[in-house]
């Protein structure tokens, strides 16, 4: 398929380049360093070869979210966003931007998002999971009350918010002790992000701000396949569930979330997700540079779905959600 749009595609600045080094062997990291630095060279050539018209670029992980000092987090976020705006300006026909946000300070994060959307022309934001705030051992999640004004700003700006994974803090990894292979994209990324997404749903956030749109990668971090059980577990136990939200989690998932194919190029999983969410809420992505563009594109272009659904997932859903007709 020609004209695909990919939206979980990363770059790095010098201050964030080594952030994911610990989850890759050195021999692989040398290749990833080169991929992270490149925007207009090999990346663009691969886009041309595999039918990707546009990439929405975002800073690598965990980057800003792993900087406990709020002032430093803001400094790096602003630097990354200014760099990205400069790169997009060179080829706005091929690249668009998603903002990095210093979520350590919700008020500053809201201001930076507004700057990125209204002044730099970015299409939304991508945030790498929880933020460490003031010290390296404190993980802060965005369902907490202090983030409600931030979410009000996101809704007002009509800016999609991509909740991207990161590993749990070392203190929270006891279940992985002796099994470090389960960290990162194998399992821990998805588990961490799914719990964060469920916290947002259960907090009542989407009752207060029903127009919010959250994006999850990797075909929904396993949530599409768990949604029935989440809502119906031990359904014979009266009033078991206690949370602020007014609706079932599935209702929010189907109204306030989109998912992408990033790093999960599996036909059966895609078909299952389509049965839960429908084709209108799924979007193509590769997860470059951490996954391969050729793997993503070859799989997607040949997977057994209708051409109408392929066009939606590959292109038109992203155009609508991110307002890409307004370039």
- Secondary structure E strands in 133-250: 139-140, 161-163, 214-216
Q: What are residue 260's phi and psi, to 5 degrees? A: -120, 165
The Cβ-side half-sphere exposure at 241, using a 13 Å CA radius, reads: 17
222 φψ region: left (φ > 0), alpha (ψ -120 to 50), beta (else): left
- Contact status, residue 102 vs residue 142, Cβ threshold 8 Å: no
Query: Does the annotation mark 69 as catalytic?
Result: no
Q: Sheet with 52-59: list strands edge to edge.
A: 4-11, 52-59, 95-97
Measured distance CA(37)–CA(241) in Å, rounded? 47
Residue entry with tokens 């700006």: 157
- Secondary structure E strands in 240-292: 257-260, 282-283
Q: Name residue 190's beta-bridge partners.
A: none
- Residue 128 is given by DSSP the state -
| Residue tagged active-site, from 280, 287, 294, 309 | 287
Residues belonging to the active site: 287
């Amino acid at each position: 398929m020609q004209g695909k749009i990919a939206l979980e595609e990363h770059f790095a600045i010098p201050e964030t380049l080594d952030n994911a080094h610990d989850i890759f062997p050195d021999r692989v990291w040398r290749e990833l360093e080169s991929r992270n630095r490149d925007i207009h060279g090999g990346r663009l050539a691969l886009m041309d070869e595999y039918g990707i018209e546009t990439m929405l670029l975002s800073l690598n992980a965990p980057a800003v979210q792993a900087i406990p000092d709020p002032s430093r987090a803001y400094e790096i976020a602003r630097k990354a966003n200014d760099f990205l705006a400069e790169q997009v300006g060179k080829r706005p026909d091929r690249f668009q931007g998603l903002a990095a946000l210093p979520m350590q300070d919700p008020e500053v994060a809201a201001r930076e998002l507004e700057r990125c959307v209204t002044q730099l022309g970015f299409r939304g934001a991508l945030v790498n999971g929880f933020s460490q705030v003031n010290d390296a051992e404190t993980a802060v999640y965005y369902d907490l009350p202090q983030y409600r004004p931030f979410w009000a700003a996101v809704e007002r700006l009509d800016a999609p918010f991509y909740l991207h994974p990161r590993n749990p803090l070392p203190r929270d990894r006891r279940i992985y002790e002796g099994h470090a292979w389960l960290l990162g994209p194998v399992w821990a990324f998805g588990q961490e992000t799914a719990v964060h997404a469920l916290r947002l749903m259960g907090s009542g956030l989407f009752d207060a701000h029903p127009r919010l749109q959250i994006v999850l990668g990797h075909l929904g971090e396993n949530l599409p396949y768990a949604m029935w059980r989440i809502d119906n577990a031990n359904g014979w136990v009266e009033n078991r569930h206690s949370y602020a939200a007014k609706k079932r989690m599935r209702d929010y998932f189907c109204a306030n979330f989109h998912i992408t194919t990033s790093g999960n190029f599996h036909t059966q999983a895609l078909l299952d997700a389509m049965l839960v969410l429908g084709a209108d809420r799924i979007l193509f992505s590769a997860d470059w540079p951490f996954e391969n563009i050729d793997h993503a594109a070859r799989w997607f272009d040949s997977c057994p779905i209708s051409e109408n659904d392929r066009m939606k997932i590959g292109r038109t859903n992203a155009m609508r959600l991110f307002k890409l007709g307004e370039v």
